[in-house]
Structure 1
């Protein structure tokens, strides 16, 4: 921003016309050319104009030259997840009145969207994305890549909560980024997340490894744990990695979380380790780690509901509780699902309830009429594949081949066709996407 633009900003802010500002100092045309950066101005006239506007020009110029560096600092603080620094710089930037009128306005708006993502304020993020796409037509290659990065992250954060977002869309968006201009290798982590949700395990692992290398190089150890967690989640069977080696890797990451004081990542890793045991039908060990994660989780949070379901599911599959206690816990789960207004978990606990009551016909009727359509419509891939497999086997067992074919057709029509007999885990592992 030129000095003249600072004057223009404060003149318009104070509702002063060019004629009134220039009165008895200089001509109106001179003010117009000065604000447009076409002419310089003498110190004497500059002093009089400054006094009339009531601004400290030296202070404003210092703030102007400071903006670019502080925006870069804010960007880095968000990447490093330094919450204290994030908030401090945010307040500092908000105190600069002309920042939205400066040449850094686009960068500032986009970083504000990135801030909202960090705070999980998704409606606010979406609003800025839409505003940027409508109003920011001429932006630098770096800003284009930053906007694409934010859009990709937003897509990852919302695809399972809306029917309008395709979970492959994040990859399509992020692949458009010009890394040579952007130079922010953190985006590899979000590209890995996109491939993970799109079931592209090889590429998910590849990009997670690139992200991990970047995080280690930049001493961003908390994000390195996220990248390493994502890498571990790409191993589906003991053909991919020795199970004890996998467990050891999880335990090492858990130990790193303890050293770094990050209890949330520790809770996630304990939950995910439980998933690995669950996939191998070691329900006792699965329940053990789910319970440890659950014990550390705030009872009022949505994560508690998710982890509580994982724990109860393991207890049910492994027959670790007597039927009376299991029914009591399932009813607690139903109450929690209602409290958190989570239709998916309400459905899952209702299925557990029907199973506990040995109501086989009611179970499969509910599965066909309520659960499968709900899982498909909300992009819950793991659940509709798992329960689709169960329903498919049930139809085949009863010789209801027409219903089995209709089920396959349903998956095809919903745009999510899979080979239904594939074995997948019901409980979902967790990731930090930010």
Structure 2
């Protein structure tokens, strides 16, 4: 029935997550409400870490790609599970720092890092700055020199691989805003230039081919291409690349039709390619880094909504409006991302209708799920949209001046607030009325 193992049906015929009754969570915290299952997050972290240790003999690190969901509590969890993190902004880096995350396990990505962000990364001694472009490289070298430091860097490489996913989440092809390309020689040129700089140390190369990928072949091909590039770098420049970051992008089950490969199988399969090419090319096995994000937290999260208006347009469509929408989950509006949902307060009610779950924003495109088989609903019912632990809170907004919902962490029947919900005072907190306006 459920797309996530985090969910169950309890004796009251209510949805249960992390041992907590969804209806009771709504009574305590209100709606909309993000709910995250701590147990499943930890389980997913361990799957990745154990697989990395097993297939690379401990010669690697798993990073949680925290753009999926960034909050101080999640950094505490992944740190306790032995993972590093990947951050893509000064805000994510600062959040991790304030959470006490060890900076020597932080990798800083991003295609347009500001001067202030580079300064913050160098000041905090992050483990690795992943360089995106020549301008950024020059800035890192200059700033590191001014601070009397030497920055350890890697380069984001576009390996030219079609990841068979949505155009908006493909990042490995040459026509992408991210990184430097192999096809036109710019990747090799920037590494050669970096080797002449005094304040940076070239340590690794990185690639990320896209997101929500269900096939093994693109990951295997990416590993092959990147290792061949590492061999080329050594042969042409003498530079030994010590670290290979293969990114993330592993698919998850959003709807019943999705059939993702077990994450352990991804790592095992790619490790065989990595070891084989290293042996063939006679290069030392590099330190391997992977960056799962969505696959650690997405299936561990749900969002709970309360039904308001039900609008049946005869022979057209039935709209069920909830008290959230694109402000707390913009992914359908952005790229028609599919989701599954259940009636959380009457799980076993027969599915006798086709409905469209709509949000409350003043946009016709504010849809959460279009044309889903669902029980008959009335105002006050509770709908749970599943697999919302990634890219929901992190992409939320105050569009229409709607406050962001709270985030609750559940585990073994207990719930704890980890992100406060906003109120109207939060909405106007930064507004200023100039005196001359009266």
Asked whether the two chains share a fold, i.e. TM above 0.5, the reply is no
Q: Rg bigger for which structure?
A: 1
By percentage of residues, which structure has more strand? 2
By percentage of residues, which structure has more helix? 1
Range class of TM-score, shorter chain? under 0.3
TM-score normalized by structure 2? 0.27
